[in-house]
Amino acid sequence: MNKHRILVVDDELLIRDLLYDFFTGQGWDITVADGGQKAIDYLKNQEFDVVLTDLKMPDIDGMDLAGRIRSLYDGLPVIIMTGFPSLDSAIQGIRHKVDDYIVKPFNVNQLFKAVKRVVEADVATAGTASE
Amino acid sequence: MNTCGNILIVNSEEYVQDMLREYFTDLGYHVLVAGGTGAALDILTSVTSPVVLVDLEQPDIDGLATVARLRRSRPDLRVIAMSGTPTLQSTISALRQGVFDYVVKPFRLEDLKDIVKRAVSSVGDDSRTLKLQRRIAELECYIRAHGLQPPPDPCASETDPDDPHESNMSATCAGRRA
């Protein structure tokens, strides 16, 4: 079976390192980006099964990135993670068709469950659509 | 009957049902009303109603559970959740259930109208035929809303055997039907 491919976008090195080690340990193919622009560059050249992005970032924030992904790669699942959760950003997430919204600090095993749920739901939907 | 689309309102409060039914009926929608989850599921077995308005806080209904059941039974539904006491947790739950939009009360009916319009036009695949069908429905809706008379359909008019344009008209109509 092919490895799942995840793009993690976060301006905090600590989070990128934590998630890199964790997803690599789970056998996933992980690419990390330190901001929204870098993520867009990766998306132009590589395929991913899911994007996990921080909300507040200095260049392109996570919601803006989600919006661009919806217009360019519509079926690609996006998960927002944030240490500054708010009703407004959650509603914005709904409007950008974000697949999940994770509040930091998170338990990495809970995060992994959420990511797997989104990826597996996307595979199931793709299977139904191709029938 | 052609309408702007079907809307199902899931709400146990009669005055809310009446207000939304009247507003969207006047806009040209075919409005269906269910007082609870079971009634909504019953309606959805027989009626194509891709857009559903669900109030998350109702006296006898767990709104989020209703959304979950509706989405499980019909993943193609565009569910618009409405809440007067929104919380972060309920909004995240609604997001996870894939609601189309989340409206905080009190809201302006104009805003809800725009959301419903977006939801209706997002339904279905994007084949050219369906896009044209949607465009025709939008134009019919516009004609009704502005009290205009639709232009006569040349394809439906009786043919005049002496009309020198007859053969051209038939060709045009055949082209339109194709």
pLDDT surpasses 90 at A86: yes
The better pLDDT of the pair B134, B36 is held by B36
For B115, how many CA atoms within 13 A lie in the half-sphere containing its CB? 22
Report whether B20 contacts B26 (CB < 8 A): no
| Cβ-defined contact of A94 to B104 (cutoff 8 Å) | no
What is the pTM for the complete model shown?
0.78
Residues A99-110: what's their mean pLDDT? 96
Rg (CA), chain A: 14
Residues 6+ apart with CB under 8 A from A5: A28, A29, A30, A31, A46, A47, A48, A49, A50
Q: Report whether pLDDT(A1) > 80.
A: no
Question: What pLDDT score was predicted for residue B127?
Answer: 42
What integer pLDDT is reported at residue A22 of this predicted model? 98
pLDDT at B146: 77
Instruction: Sort out which chain B residues have CB atoms less than 8 A from A122's CB and list them.
Output: none
> Which residues of chain A lie closer than 8 angstroms to B104, CB-CB?
87, 91
Whole-angstrom distance, CA of residue B72 vs CA of residue B50: 14
Q: How many CB atoms lie within 10 A of CB A37?
A: 15
Which of these ranges, A4-8, A76-80, B88-92, B141-145, has the smallest mean pLDDT? Answer: B141-145
pLDDT band of residue B154 (cuts 50, 70, 90) is very low
Task: Report the C-alpha gap between B177 and B87 in whole angstroms.
Answer: 51
Asked if A40 and A60 count as a contact pair (C-beta separation under 8 A), the reply is: yes
A87 → closest Cβ in B91, B96, B99:
B91
Which residues in chain A are contacts of B87 at CB distance < 8 A?
Answer: 87
Q: What pLDDT sits at residue B128?
A: 44
Asked if B88 lies within 8 A of A100 by C-beta distance, the reply is no
Decide if B95 and A98 are in contact by the 8 Å CB cutoff.
yes
| pLDDT tens digits along B53-66 | 999 988 778 899 99
- The neighbouring-strand residues paired with B10 are B34, B54
Question: What is the chain A residue with the closest CA to B80?
Answer: A94
- Residue B136 DSSP label: H
Q: Phi and psi at residue A99, in whole multiples of 5°?
A: -85, -25
Burial zone of B43 (CB within 10 Å; 0-12 exposed, 13-18 middle, 19+ buried): middle
Hey, of A79, A89, A92, A94, which one would you mutate to test binding to chain B, going by the most B CBs within 10 A of its CB? A94
Predicted local confidence at residue B171, as pLDDT: 34
The per-residue pLDDT of chain B, averaged, comes to 79
Q: How far apart are CA B46 and CA B32, in angstroms?
A: 12
CB atoms within 10 A of CB A31: 18
